[in-house]
Structure 1
Amino acid sequence: MSGIALVRKPGPRVAEGIVTNIGREPVDADLAARQHDAYAEALRAAGWRTVEVARADELPDGPFVEDTVVVCGRLAVLTRPGAPERRAEVEGVAAVVRELGLETAVIEEPGTLDGGDVLQVGDTVYVGRSARTDDEGIAQLAALLGDRTVVPVDLRGVLHLKSAVTALPDGTLIGDPAYVDLPDLLVPEEEAGSHVVLLGGERVLMAASAPRTARTLAGRGLDVVTVDISEFEKLEGCVTCLSVLIR
């Protein structure tokens, strides 16, 4: 068993989720639900035990559970999302991480922090300075993660840091230099190729919308699992957004 994966099923209002940097497209809520089920099944097939946060049908962005909590070891930092209408999502996640026995801390007002802006690579924690995460939120996170090196990263034209860059199992950063300035980026062949979930060992999860990048990573020796998340991509979501892995 690799660990626990927190997930939250989408509700019937998922199509009303916030869209910031792309045009709004129709979202099929039923298809989104099926895609979410397949995503969770891919995590289970890789050895993760999925734990569901209680559905919150009144919160359209609820399935993007990554934004509500940052887990570092046994510490769960409950975020204060930059979009006020998303702050109610944190309560249900807080209940679950406490039930799991994690220590909790909270990002306090006036700071804002979205978990999608936090990329952990070894002892380094990159944090996107975005429309959703501000300097105060970054400073609070750095104080809570005192044994880690926290590196603020400026973004342009993208919602979250992990919309632009993630990391491979060996620590190589993969991302789009159009959105972020970080050294030694492996540039993917599709925008969605920037989004990688580390499932353990050399296995990674990617979106089906990045087939060329998936082939490239397989050529580097990685075991690539792909899932179709088209309905969530219409809402600026990616494979990292839909779970929080507790190792």
Structure 2
Amino acid sequence: MLKFENIIARKPCKAMLEGISTGMFSDDKPVYEKAVDQHQEYVETIESLGVKALVLDALEEYPDSCFVEDPAVVMKECAIITNSPRESRNGEKYEIVPAIKKFYADEQIFHIAAPGTMEGGDVMLVEKHFYVGLSDRTNKEGARQFNEIVSKFGYTSSTIPVTEGLHLKDFVIYLENNNMLVSAKMNEVPEFHEFNRFVVPTEELYAINSLNINGTVLVPEGYSKTLEHIKSLGYPVIVVNTDEFKKIDGSLTCLSLRF
């Protein structure tokens, strides 16, 4: 099992009301005050599982900056600063570097460079293999550079087309122990057929993005079928409310970098 000792998170900013949204999960605008409370609960929940949190100040100039998973990909051996193709998000990569440098030496920090693009929401680790989603945010060149970097540390990677929504991990999540949560479309991907897959019902699609922290699975509030399935697999479960972040396509994994 992957063991996490630290997370990096960033407080939501008031500008999050103008965050990017596909409208897939909600047409509503976030309520900032509720988002602040939900974010604090999220951090405290992860800390209760034996993980130390570094919580960064809000960045008003970047509406989506609370989603710290996107400007970097972190692992034990190194950190990779990504390169978003969205102008409103690209500057976040510079803002995350000082936090990354608290944990990684300069020679452990790598960068995805143009014309490569990548956001961390498209990167899913399974044991020592990364599945990289090819999406509107992550392109083939970004995936190629990523593979070149991680291969230095004994990892492998492959690409998966993202044909629905924003990021790969909105539609497939690895829970450890060979278990996956998938959408109906991701269930058809041959690369995932070796796993024990649960096809999340369409009305509970948001619950795919659940998060295993040291053996306990965090599940978004309000998705009883997915919750009961995860319990049936034997995982301890904590329900966390991320409704305000859902309104701008944010979910449990988006809100932290874990290592």
TM-score (norm 2): 0.90
Q: Secondary structure at the match of 2:74?
A: strand
Alpha-carbon deviation of 1:2? 4.1
| 2:126/2:176 contact within 8 Å kept | no
Question: In 1, distance between residues paired with 2:67 and 2:38?
Answer: 13
For these two proteins, the number of residue pairs brought into alignment is 245
Alpha-carbon deviation of 1:21? 5.0
- Pick from 10, 13, 25 the counterpart of residue 11 of structure 1: 13
What is the identity, as a one-letter code, of the residue corresponding to 2:217?
V
| 2:78/2:104 contact within 8 Å kept | no
RMSD, aligned CA: 1.6
What is the identity, as a one-letter code, of the residue corresponding to 1:74?
E
Question: In 1, distance between residues paired with 2:224 and 2:40?
Answer: 21
What is the identity, as a one-letter code, of the residue corresponding to 1:156?
T
- Equivalent residue for 2:211? 197
Question: In 2, distance between residues paired with 1:193 and 1:165?
Answer: 10
Structure with bigger helix share is 2
Question: In 2, distance between residues paired with 1:28 and 1:55?
Answer: 15
- Equivalent residue for 2:251? 238
| 1:155/1:180 contact within 8 Å kept | no
1:128 aligns with 2:133: yes
What is the identity, as a one-letter code, of the residue corresponding to 1:60?
P
1:156 aligns with 2:163: yes
Question: In 2, distance between residues paired with 1:210 and 1:230?
Answer: 12
Q: Give 5+ residue unaligned stretches, structure 2.
A: none
Give the alignment of 1:70-149 within 5 angstroms. 70-102=73-105, 103-146=108-151, 147-149=154-156
Q: Secondary structure at the match of 2:229?
A: helix
Alpha-carbon deviation of 1:27? 1.3
| 1:175/1:186 contact within 8 Å kept | yes
Alpha-carbon deviation of 1:195? 1.2
- Equivalent residue for 1:188? 200
Q: Secondary structure at the match of 1:158?
A: coil
Alpha-carbon deviation of 1:93? 1.2
| 1:54/1:92 contact within 8 Å kept | no
| 1:156/1:180 contact within 8 Å kept | no
Alpha-carbon deviation of 1:179? 5.2
Alpha-carbon deviation of 1:40? 0.6
| 2:17/2:31 contact within 8 Å kept | yes
Alpha-carbon deviation of 1:123? 1.4
Report sequence identity in percent. Answer: 28
Question: In 1, distance between residues paired with 2:212 and 2:33?
Answer: 27
Question: In 2, distance between residues paired with 1:181 and 1:120?
Answer: 19
Question: In 1, distance between residues paired with 2:155 and 2:90?
Answer: 26
